[in-house]
Each structure stands twice: as structure tokens, then as C-alpha cells.
Structure 1
Amino acid sequence: MAETNTSKFPIYAVIVTVVFKLLFLLTHYIQEDAFITWRVAQNLLDYGVIGFNGDTKISASTTHLYVFVSYLFNLVFGKEHFIEPLLIFNSILFTIGTLLLSHLVLKNPWHKAIFIFLIGILPPAIKISILGMEYGILFFLEMILLYYGFHKGKKWVLTLLPVLIMFTRIDTVIFLGIIFLVDVFWNRKIRWNYIFGGILGVLCTVAFNWFYFGELVNNTITAKKLLYEQSFTFQQNVNYFLVSFGNFWGMLKVPGNFNPVTIIVLIFELLCFIYLVRQRQNRNYFLWIIFMFGWAKQIVFISQKSLFDWYYWVPQLLLFVPVLIFVLEQKVKRNLWLSLLIVLYILPMMAFQTIHSIATGNGEWNYRRTIGLFLNTYEKDKNQWILLEPAGYVPYFSGLKTIDEVGLVDKQIQGEIKKDKKNYWINTVKNRKPKYLLSYKNLYEGTNAEALYYQSHYKLLKEFRVKDHLNSDNKILEKIYHLKPSGTDYNLYIRID
């Protein structure tokens, strides 16, 4: 069937996919870091300052554009009701992005519709849509750039979109750079509008950081590098890669350094890509872009020991695109190929994500959020400080001023890390005397000076245990909670002097 402008199948697929994925809102699985961005947005609303603790400026969020979008949703819907509309908005934008991607790589409207739905229910797509991170907007902007800028040739898109993309995440320079390299190699010419847009994007992002925050890159990058940076031998790097790579290419995070599912999928993705680009179609231009970007992004981030799985969501999806195209365009036994793909991979992946979302949503929303709600009720003075890690749910729902272990939301702790990395936690407690400490471990254990200090100046206020939140009236949910318990045991301490 030839592509026609009148076909509504892909549009219907967008609607069905969005509605289907909204069921995942019921799991309450929202990424911890989303609450950092939303607190920054609310800090802007309350204090007129992009920060985390009152009128102190700090780029605590990894994304500037999403902070402003979250600010608008808070403004329109209110702090109590903005989350669901924003998650729906993210899901709609991401799914429209898959529609634009389908226009770039497929011709048959039915194929596009199936492509949109199948890619939309893969684990990374569900997480991009529902977990509250900035990747729904980012994917939408990236696909607009490819479709309207490089497919339709809109010069204003080539100039404006790199600015918006860079302002969403600074690491998108990898995506923009891969597009430039493929475009120059493919067309043997330079698009100066795009060059100008890229330069403008870098300048706008860096200038905003410098003039507003007094730094060239986001504080989140500086903080993570400062705390997590380590020296590895060659053998340690090899071992690290072997342990880590299986978590990213296969869409399924499993422990250990051998994941046969990941290896099979990786090989199949490569074979499908090679098969498609040998057909010498115009879409090869876009296949090269998305496939090279997928590999480049994953290799760069794995080499930098970046284990946060959200860095890999978009590359995971883009690397899987050739598989879907290959299966959809089979002329012999297409239904068999498609059925095998759905039964052996798509449905198991979705089932895994469903269980993961239910269990993790329980551990985050029903457990970790409880700690914040307890503190919100217990401590009425919101100018009191708490030292903890991570800085998402508990600070957001408690409303307390926050020092996080990494220094994402508070720069002063970075000074302690620079002075004495081994003892920075206890030194921060002694110097700043936060009223509350939330720790993974029992601070009273041992007979050393640290334990004695905690025993003298802090008392245990409350214990929070994951096992206490694994019950449900629904027996199926309870089995899932016990199958994959999510969360960390905490001890909450309060200063007594």
C-alpha cells in the first residue's frame, strides 16, 4: 500500500498507544530524579529562583527546559495536581515522536501503526512516558529535528531545534554530532543553518549556566564526577564492562556478567540493520543516524561508568528500530515473523516491565514517599535541614531543606568531599548540624568516635523497613511485592542538642 496523506491508521495508533500506557499510571512508578526536577520547578514558583533550598541558586536538575515545563504545569494545575497531567503530556509527546520516526523509516500506514504501538510498549518507551523524566520531551524534539529539519528541509527547524535539545540535556551534543557527521558524509555538503543552530545551542546553554549559576556545566555533572570518580586499571575496566553491558542493550536489567538474551538481541539488531542498509533506500540516511547514535551514546556512557539506566532508554529503542522494520517488511511469512517477535520478545518484555513497575512503584510511592509524608507532618518548620541520599521523594514530600550525599542539591557538601572524601559525611554533620539524618545504616554501631558522636548528639526517631510495605489486600500484588521487593531500609535520626 502506498503512503497517503489521508491515512489515519498511524494517528489512531498514537491514540491507542497513549491510552494503553496510561494504565501504568496506576503503578505509581515515578523515577526518584523526577522529584528533584519538580522541586526545582516549585522552588522557582515559590522563590523566583532556580534552586532547591530557598533563594540559593543551584542547577540541581539535569535539565533546564523540563524545569520550565514543570514550572508551567505547577502554575496551571497547582502543586497537588500537576503530576498526572505532566505524565500524560510526556507520554503524548513521546508517542508523537514515534509517529514522526515511523514516517522516516516506513511507507505502509499499517506498518507505521503497528510500529508505533509495538515500540511504544517496550520497557524503555513505557519508562520514558510514565516515569516523569525529561526524555519524553527530548525524544519528541529529536524526532522533530530529524523529520522537519532533515527530511522536510525546514531551515528554521535546523536552527531552533538544536537550541531546545541542548537546553533539555547538555549530553545531547552526542546526538547532534552524529547527525552532523552522517549528513556531511551522506550529502557531501554542510548545512550552515544546522551549524549555526548547534553553536547557538552550546552558547545558550553554557551562557545560561554561567550567567545564572556561575558555572559552565550543570552542578549535577560536577557533583557526580567529584564523588564517583575513581582510577581503574585496564583489567578493572574490562571487568566493569562485562558486568555492566548486559543491563543496557537488551532492555532487561539482570545481575551478572552474562546475559544470553542481551547477546541474542544485540546480534539480531546488527543483522537487521545490515540487511536493511544493503537495500540502498533513502531511509538508510536516517537508519545510519539512529543506529550510530545508539551505539555512540551507550559506549560513551558505559565508558564513563554511568550506570543510571535512564541514560540508555532512547538508545535502546533506536537500536531496536531495524528489528521492527525487518519483521514488518517481510514478504514471506510476515505474520509468522511478527507473531514470533510479539510472543517471544515484546510481550515478555512488557510483562517484565509491568511487574517491575508495580513492585518499584510500591517501593517508591508506598514506601519511600511515606518517609517524606511522616517528616512533613512531624516537622512543621520547613527551614530545618535533613542530610540524606537520594534527594527525590523524601525532600519533595517533607518540604525540608536538604543536604544530599552527592551534592546535587547542596554545593557546600562538595567542599567537604574535596577536603576529606573519606570522612565528608561525619564532617558535614559536625559542621552544619542538620536536625535530621536519614541513613541506610545504623549510625550507633561500633565504638569509634563517629558512633560515639551520633550517640551523643542524635537519637533514633523512627525505623523504616521495606518488609513492612510488602503487604496488600490484593494477593496478586502481594506476590509481586515479595517477588521483587523494592526500596532500602532507613533509620531516621533527630538532633537532641
Structure 2
Amino acid sequence: MKKFEQLPLFAIVFTVLFKLLFLLTHHIQEDAFITWRVAQNLLDYGVIGFNGDTKISASTTHLYVFVSWFFNLLFGKENFIYPLLIFNSVLFTIGSYFLSKLLLKNPIQQAIFIFLFGVLPPSIKISILGMEYGILFFLYMSLLYFGFHQRKNWALIVFPILILFCRLDTVIFLGIVFLIDVIWHRKINWVYVLGGILANSVLLSFNYFYFNEFVNNTIVAKQLTYEGHFTAAQNWEYFLQNYGNFWGMLKLPGDFNLFTVIVLLFELIAFIIVIKVKENRNYFLWIIFIFGWSKQMIFISQKSLFDWYYWIPQILLFVPILVFILEINKKKYLWLSLLIVFYILPMLAFQTVHSIATGNGEWNYRRNIGLFLNEYEKDKNQFIFLEPAGYVPYFSQLKTIDEVGLVDKELQTEIKKDRKNYKLNVAKNRKPKYILAYKNLFEAENSEFYKSHYQLIKEFRIKNSLSSEYPILEKMYHLKPSGTDYNLYERIKIQEPKIELDSANKFSN
């Protein structure tokens, strides 16, 4: 097997090059542009914020803000995106290499694992959608590989700090690793405990001394805006409508998704079969499987719909299937071929169509709204009130009030004062020059106010962005239309009544 030892490294290169094809789809997640706007705000104003010199933790991830800032500095604002996406893809694939080393001994199996693992839909999204999860996955696997496989004490200190500084919710991963390690070895790893203490100290100190808060504003804003009380029946209905996002690789229409149930059962069965063979690698299988389930259940309980929360758990829960198939002794290549033909290739085809259609809806449609505003409004100190705060604020360069309060804390005050009418109160009190709305404000509640203070300047309709000179692409756009209809309103300049000079003198006398 020595002659195949370098094969996993070649698999890294091949997998990265293969996934770079997805950059052509322009499928970039909306929230990535929030982080990149924060990074550019740091570059322009020296402040971690979103609107000028106002400090606010508008991005969920501090570490990725600094990485994005560095790439902006290195490549410039116009050219940093694709180098950063490639960097994310490379780091994710290196992370999958570390995972393969933890679970498989045969370099041929490791190489196959790296590629098949890398082309699963969540893996593609982690790599090319611009979010921080490529870096995060690399850090997770680096901690396991260097800290708990090679027993490097420095890794037990450094990686927990970087992981928690990347995202606050990574405390779930760090906690699961600690619990499994204590149960497995029946003793406490005090170096890792020190790493955890330092990680919490670094993050909380940074939040407190820089932002004067302990918990990131993004978390506070989402909890405030999306809070809701559900009955048991409503909770069950909610779960049925969304569980495909939690455990599945894709969300199919309808409340009941049999495909997701089958995959979930296969994952459980494969896990049980694999861990029956007593090997040291079971330690890592328990970590990733318990973490995958824990992360899913915690976020499900919090009604977290954002699908990127589930990317890493989705692929980690699928790992036992890959290990099981690769280690079957009888008819191995038949089972592997069946997996590729009936699962990997359909999932890859689905993600390709999804990325092409969504890339059109985001890059060719929503980005153009921002570009229109960038050309239309030259004064970049003007405010726009909208949701979400990704593409349009980034490409328009306008200051922003978002409907959730991620990038503007004053909005949270309005929600607390009057949740029902907070959008109207923002329009009245903050007087944003532009409002980008999903609905026709002139036909909605409080229409009289909007009619007297705003004018409709442009309608953006997703149906107008579903055409292409290439028939195949046009079919994909129509098969999965991505985007939302918008109306763009501009505030009317209301002339204040003038007091004649003679009258004014009378009052002064």
C-alpha cells in the first residue's frame, strides 16, 4: 500500500478542482454578504460594524470577519470573493482528509472517502456558498486529528479558541467532545479544559470590551424577532414541514418525506454495524454522531429554520454510511457502485440544478437590485429599510436598517416598544429614504401613511429573471425559481410650510 500513500493528497486536489465548477453557478449565500460588508466596514472605518463607525456584531462569526478582512486587504474589494471561496473549499477538503485519516487505514479508501464526502450537497454548500463553515469544519477536524489523535497539547489550546471565536454555538461541539472523551478514557483531560476556559474567556472578553455585550447581537436580534409560542400540535406540524432540512440532504415538497426517513434509518443502521467492530476509531465515530444528533435536536427545539445550521451535522451523520460501504468485504465494489449511482449522483445532480437556479435568483436578480440602487442613489449615507441585509445593501453600498435588527440595534428598541407596528414606526421615526418591501405598501395596512410619504419607483419581479439564451438553463430556472418579488419605494420630499418674513418679525417682536 506504500505506493498509494500519496493518493489521498491527490484526492484533495481533484476534489477541490471538481467543486470549483460550482463557482460558475454564482450560488452565494445571502448572509455571506453580511459578513463581507462587516469586513469591508472594518477596512474602511477601522470598526467592526455595518453602517460607518457604529460598532455592532452584525455578523455571527468574528473569526471569519477577520479572514474576510484579510482577503479584502490582499485582493481588493472587487476581486476577493473567488479567492476566498477557493480558500474555504481547500480548508474544508483538508478537513475531510483529516477525518478520513481518523476513520480509515487504507489510503485508497481514504481517497474515495474524500471525494464522495466532498461532493455531497452540504459539502458543496459549505465549500462554495461563502459562509464560515468551511473554516469551521477544518477547525473541528483539526482539533480531533491533532488534539485527540496525535495528542498534541498545543492543539487542545489553540483550536478551541479558534473554534469558539468562529461561532458561539460551537460550544455544543466542544462540549460533546469533552463528554465523550471523559466517558471513553474515564478521566478528565485538563489541558482541553484549559483550552475551553481560554476559548470562553477570549470570546466573552472580546464581546464585552469591544461591543459591550456577552452574546453576539445577531443571536439577540433573532431571538427577539422570531420569538413565538407554539402549542404541541403546532410544534408537530412545524416539525413535519421542516424535518427534511434537518436530517435530509434535500427538502422535497410535502409534509412527509419518505426519502429522508430512509436515509436516516440507513445512517443509524450503518453506525451500529460500524461501531460493533471494536476499534480505536469508534471514539471519533461516537463524537461526530452524537454531535450531529445533538446539534440537530438543539436547533430544532429553537425553531431554527436556516439550513446552514444543519450542513455540518448532515454530512457527519452520513459518514458511517461511507465507512460501512468502503469496508464491506463481500461485493464491495457492487455496493459502492450502487451508492454512487442511486445516491451520490442523484444528490450531485440535485445540487447542480439547485445551485444554478438559486445562483440565478440571487446573483442575477437580487444583486441587480443592489446595483440599480448603487447607480440610482449616489449619497451612500442614505438609509434603506429592508430584509434581508445581504445582497442589496452590499451592492448598493447604502446604510441599512434590516427588519430583524441584525445590522441596526435601534430596530430592536422599536420591536420591544410595539411589536405589531414596529415597521411603520421605523418608517415614521427613522425616515429611511428607501424601503424595499415584499408587498405593495399602498394596499397594505397603514397604506395612507405610505402613500403620503413614499412613492413607488420600481417593481422587481422574479418572473422577469427566469429567461436565458440557453434553453437548458431556462428550464432549470423555471423548475426551481429562486427569489422574491419586491417593490422599491423612495421617500417623498415634503415641503415644510414657510412663514413669511413679516410674520416672523411680528412673532419675534
Residues 475-495 of structure 1: CA distance to partner in whole angstroms, max 9, x if unpaired? 100110011110000000001
1:476 is aligned, of 468, 472, 482, to 472
Distance of 1:424 and 1:199 partners within structure 2 = 40
Aligned-partner SS, 2:247: coil
1:466 is aligned, of 451, 462, 465, to 462
Residues 219-264 of structure 1: CA distance to partner in whole angstroms, max 9, x if unpaired? 0000000010111122222222222212221111123321111000
Distance of 1:444 and 1:340 partners within structure 2 = 56
> Larger deviation: 260-269 or 227-236?
227-236
What's the counterpart of residue 190 of structure 2? 192
Distance of 2:240 and 2:453 partners within structure 1 = 45
Aligned-partner SS, 1:460: strand
2:335 is equivalent to residue 337 of structure 1? yes
Letter in 2 for 1:473: E
Q: How does 1:65-464 map to 2 (within 5 A)?
A: 65-446=63-444, 450-464=446-460
2:486 is aligned, of 472, 483, 490, to 490
Distance of 2:415 and 2:253 partners within structure 1 = 30
Deviation beyond 4 Å, 4+ runs, structure 1: none
Letter in 2 for 1:338: L
TM-score by length of structure 1 reads 0.98
C-alpha contact (below 8 Å) 1:272/1:322 kept by paired residues: yes
Aligned CA RMSD, in angstroms, stands at 0.9
TM-score by length of structure 2 reads 0.96
Distance of 2:191 and 2:245 partners within structure 1 = 38
C-alpha contact (below 8 Å) 2:292/2:316 kept by paired residues: yes
Distance of 1:200 and 1:256 partners within structure 2 = 46
> Larger deviation: 201-210 or 254-263?
254-263
Distance of 2:37 and 2:372 partners within structure 1 = 18
% identical equivalent positions: 71
Aligned-partner SS, 1:461: strand
Aligned-partner SS, 2:489: strand
Q: Quote how far apart the aligned CAs of 1:306 are.
A: 0.2
Q: Quote how far apart the aligned CAs of 1:6 are.
A: 7.1
C-alpha contact (below 8 Å) 1:247/1:254 kept by paired residues: no
Letter in 1 for 2:41: N
What's the counterpart of residue 12 of structure 1? 10
Letter in 2 for 1:444: F
Aligned-partner SS, 1:463: strand
Distance of 1:468 and 1:403 partners within structure 2 = 27
Q: Quote how far apart the aligned CAs of 1:139 are.
A: 0.3
What's the counterpart of residue 499 of structure 2? none
Distance of 1:60 and 1:193 partners within structure 2 = 33
Distance of 1:423 and 1:256 partners within structure 2 = 33
Rg larger in structure: 2
Letter in 1 for 2:448: L
Letter in 2 for 1:259: N
> Larger deviation: 237-246 or 32-41?
237-246
C-alpha contact (below 8 Å) 1:118/1:346 kept by paired residues: yes
What's the counterpart of residue 25 of structure 1? 23
C-alpha contact (below 8 Å) 1:438/1:490 kept by paired residues: yes
Q: Quote how far apart the aligned CAs of 1:202 are.
A: 1.0
What's the counterpart of residue 55 of structure 2? 57
C-alpha contact (below 8 Å) 1:388/1:439 kept by paired residues: yes
Residues 76-130 of structure 1: CA distance to partner in whole angstroms, max 9, x if unpaired? 0000000000000000000000000000000110000000000100000000000
C-alpha contact (below 8 Å) 2:4/2:108 kept by paired residues: no
Aligned-partner SS, 1:81: coil
